[in-house]
Amino acid sequence: MLDMTNYLALTKVFLKNLKMSKSNNKKARRMFTFLLIFTFLFIIVPFLLISSLFVYDTTIQLMDINYESIGLQIMCYLVSVFTFVFTFPVILNELYFSDDIEKLIPLPVKPVELAFAKFTACFIVENLVQILLIFVSILSYIFALRLKVTNILLALIQIVTLPIIPMIYSAIICLIIMHFAKYIKNKELIKRFSSVFVVGLFFFFFFAVSAFKDFNFELYLENFANGDHRFLTIMNYIFPQINLFIDTLTNQNVLSLIIYILITLVFILIFLGLAKFSYLDSVIGMSAKDTSVHQRSSKLLKKLKEHSTFKAYVLKEFKVLIRTPSFFINCIIINILWPIFAYTIYKVGPMNYSISKMHEFVVTGDSSFKIKLLLLVTGISILLPAMNSIAATSFSREGKHFSFIKYIPVGYKTQWLSKLFISFIITFAGINIYTTIFYIMIGLPISNIIVFYLISFLAVSSVCIMGVYIDSIQPKLIWDDENNALRENYNTFIAMGIALLIFGITCGGGYYYLYDKLHMTIGYISFVIILCLLFTTILFSLFSIVNGTRNIRDQEEA
């Protein structure tokens, strides 16, 4: 079915397309490497430590009742679900919407080889963190049970390949959807449909979380020990490879390893069979010209108006973000849907207060509630501009059109400020539209609201300035479709790491030191946070003024 030479060659090419472009400036490269290592220590390492501690503690607690593998199983299920949900848009884009498809189809390669090579490239690129997470969870599991470290050797193949089946689920759904979508013959419409599908996944997550109002992990473990295994039974049917993996790891069962390999191969063969049957027809069906493009272009030309240089560039950035499905999903939609995540924490957290109860706290002047609200607003205002990656991909989004920046008669400073402004305004509006409604609902005094606005303004400004500056050091300019401008873009990763550090200093320090230790009032805590954020804003602004435009000027075109 597959010519391995073609398959491996294609996979190698697709992997190269996903790599970050490098700056020719040695100083910029050194700065980028330093920031990358720094961010790895502040994002990946703490996340891995927390996950490994969860597995270790759960294993120790359940060892006496012979359910010691539950913690590792739950971690593997979470990784599998995460992989399924978040790789769906990636696989859909890579299989059907990347710019290289129309050039590759006429070549003497089978469509199934093309599809599988793209799937493999996605698997290699997207699963490094998941594999690391599984590995540290296994180490915690082995140390808790005092197993031999050599147990890992037999299960090594499974550790690396565990995310394959959830990714194949995503790929199969993509193939089925696109088999019927080919009749639409409108690539832009199908891209928008994929955006709607991703939004639907988020809303499904929202409604699913509502069912966890009274969820208690200790109670769940107690019910499990009493024979309630419904959750694991369902998950074992969906992801049959996980039980086999744990049996191989724990008991060094060679038979489980063989069955695991066979099941994985069956899933791969199902994907290859579907790809052979439907992939070529779907791609060719989508390549038909969209007759509405010319009509839309004519209408747009008639509506053109003259604007100032700054306003025109801001509008250009806004339209690119809104009209490009990949940018809309990854950069814009989180500013609309972030309350879902906040609601998730609210539902499963220990302080599940009603609106009327929070209003009562405000009326009675409960300082503890107001301080927690202050830190919550501060935290959201720091993390959201890093998570939405608008600022941290400001120049990466230009890609092969980077020459547009260098040769149009618009100064670098104007372009820089335009990119900064659009990232700030989208994020600040996305935060404060929702928070303002919330402030009104709980009856928060206007003096507190003004302080919260000021803190949000400074937090969003500092993180956006930092994000634009980081992307100027080494933007990812070599990509064949918009999704690849965001995937494997370490600038977003670095911005998130620095934002987490600022978050830890302001929110963690504000609560555990200023409030819990020194017992400061909300006024003093607000003043200290404002000073910290003002300092970071000035610091990042100075970096941008001194080095920002020089980074762009020295950057080679894609």
Tens-digit pLDDT profile for residues 92-142:
878 877 767 777 777 778 888 888 998 998 888 878 888 888 888 888 888
| CA–centroid distance for 267 within its chain | 26
Region 410-437: what's the mean pLDDT? 90
Token pair listed for 108: 């003497």
Token pair listed for 395: 């120049």
Does pLDDT of 194 surpass 70? no
Does pLDDT of 299 surpass 60? no
| Angle, vertex CA 249, rays to CA 245 and CA 255, nearest 5 | 65
| CA–centroid distance for 354 within its chain | 30
Token pair listed for 131: 């594999």
Q: Tell me what pLDDT residue 424 has.
A: 95
Region 54-74: what's the mean pLDDT? 82
Residues comprising the chain, all counted:
558
Percent pLDDT > 90 in the chain is 18
Contact 549, 418 (CB under 8 A): no
Place of tokens 């400020």: 417
Give the DSSP letter string of 224-253: HHTT--HHHHHHHHH-THHHHHHHHHHH--
Continuous segment of H or E residues that includes residue 494: helix 490-503
Tens-digit pLDDT profile for residues 132-155:
888 888 888 888 888 877 778 877
Q: Tell me what pLDDT residue 222 has.
A: 63
Q: Tell me what pLDDT residue 326 has.
A: 76
